Amino acid sequence: MGKTKKITVENTEISVILQHGTDDFICLTDMARFRDSDRTNYVIQNWMRARTTIEFLGVWEILHNPNFKSTEFDAFRNNAGLNTFTLTPKEWSEKTNAIGIYSKAGRYGGTYAHKDIAFNFGMWLSPAFQLYVVKEYQRLVEEESNPLSLQWSARRFLSKANYTIHTDAIKERLTHFGYSRAKQILVYAQEADMLNIIVFGCTAKEWEQSNPELAKKGMNIRDTASIAQLLVLSNLEVINSDLIRKNISRHERIKALVEMAKAQMETLDKNDIEHRFRKQFPENNVGNLLE
């Protein structure tokens, strides 16, 4: 059957059954919640009452389904649009032997449709909504088909989780010394930029100034990091948290973290070590930290 994944569009969580790219199915029930979260079946049936919908479904089945019952399809098409005409996904599938739409019970239950049909349904719901569905679906497919992208996402998540550990350790020390909230925020930024300089060779602000277009899109220095950089950064955040709790001075922490970062990067990227060191550990910036 394939594996079920989730995408989120306009605060609406939508299940996607990934199979082999061209045969992926998307949950119409989830999509219908964008219009009316309490009457999803009604929304889907309302879409299926339209003659244009029936014609689209019929043509799709003719192109993809050799066992499609075209005689039953003609009957539905002739009645489509009439005030008395109603049609459910189940009726459509059972009477025409359609394969483009089906109902599924269980944890991810609901009405599912082939992505081609789901996109048509999305257009009926809202053109803008449909475009976002297509965009998120394509992003999901790209991530699933690219192991490197999946690893990057995992490392990015790990980095965010470890950042919380890092800030909690700082908070413990600042609270102990009675620092104000404003002072705490400043120290958080200083500690984060200390690690940014060690790993990326620049502060978050310097990165924004060098990458204004990416910054406008809401991206930051960590969003463009390599897998190796994110892994090293995550490790340094945990190590720095431990050093802070042990009351190790900032100067001593920097020296230890720089050596650890270089050793870890060397392990991760032995084939291009000199280039990566020159790029990620500029002597001027690291030297400034130690001043």
Q: Average of pLDDT values for 254-278? A: 69
Q: Do residues 115 and 165 share a domain?
A: no
Q: Pick the last residue of a domain from 105, 122, 145.
A: 145
Q: Do residues 15 and 107 share a domain?
A: yes
Q: Pick the last residue of a domain from 145, 175, 209.
A: 145
Q: Do residues 128 and 168 share a domain?
A: no
Q: Do residues 57 and 31 share a domain?
A: yes
What's the domain range around 275?
Answer: 147-290
Q: Do residues 152 and 264 share a domain?
A: yes
| Separation of CA 178 from chain center | 39
Q: Do residues 156 and 248 share a domain?
A: yes
Q: Give residue-wise pLDDT tens across range 44-93.
A: 999 999 889 999 999 999 999 999 999 999 999 988 878 888 899 999 99
Q: Which two tokens stand for residue 275?
A: 């280039």
Report the domain count for the chain: 2
How much is the pLDDT for 219?
78
Quick one: which H or E segment has residue 28?
A: helix 28-32
Q: Residue 254: what are its φ and ψ, rounded to 5°?
A: -60, -45
Q: Which residue has the higher pLDDT, 254 or 168?
A: 254
pLDDT at 180 over 80: no
Q: Do residues 134 and 233 share a domain?
A: no
How many CA within 13 A on the CB side of residue 1? Answer: 10
pLDDT at 247 over 60: yes
Q: Do residues 80 and 21 share a domain?
A: yes
Q: Which two tokens stand for residue 10?
A: 């306009």
How much is the pLDDT for 268?
66
pLDDT at 24 over 50: yes
pLDDT tier at 30 (50, 70, 90 boundaries)?
Answer: very high
- Please spell the DSSP secondary structure of 53-70, one letter per residue: HHHHHHHHHHHH-TT--H
Q: Do residues 97 and 165 share a domain?
A: no
Q: Give residue-wise pLDDT tens across range 100-146.
A: 999 877 666 789 999 999 999 999 999 889 989 998 998 888 777 65
pLDDT at 150 over 70: no
| Helices of type H across 87-226 | 89-96, 115-125, 127-145, 147-177, 181-200, 204-210, 212-216
Q: Which residue has the higher pLDDT, 126 or 185?
A: 126
Q: Do residues 158 and 284 share a domain?
A: yes
280: three-class secondary structure by DSSP: helix
Q: Pick the last residue of a domain from 145, 174, 195.
A: 145
Burial 270-291 (b: 16+ CB within 10 A, else e): eeeeeebbeebbeeebbeebee
Q: Which two tokens stand for residue 120?
A: 């048509």
201 and 230 in contact (C-beta within 8 Å)?
Answer: no
Q: Give residue-wise pLDDT tens across range 190-238.
A: 888 888 888 888 988 899 999 888 888 777 887 777 767 877 887 788 7
| Separation of CA 131 from chain center | 16
| Separation of CA 221 from chain center | 18
pLDDT tier at 186 (50, 70, 90 boundaries)?
Answer: low
- Name residues whose C-beta falls within 8 Å of residue 231's C-beta, 6 or more positions apart in sequence: 155, 158, 264, 268
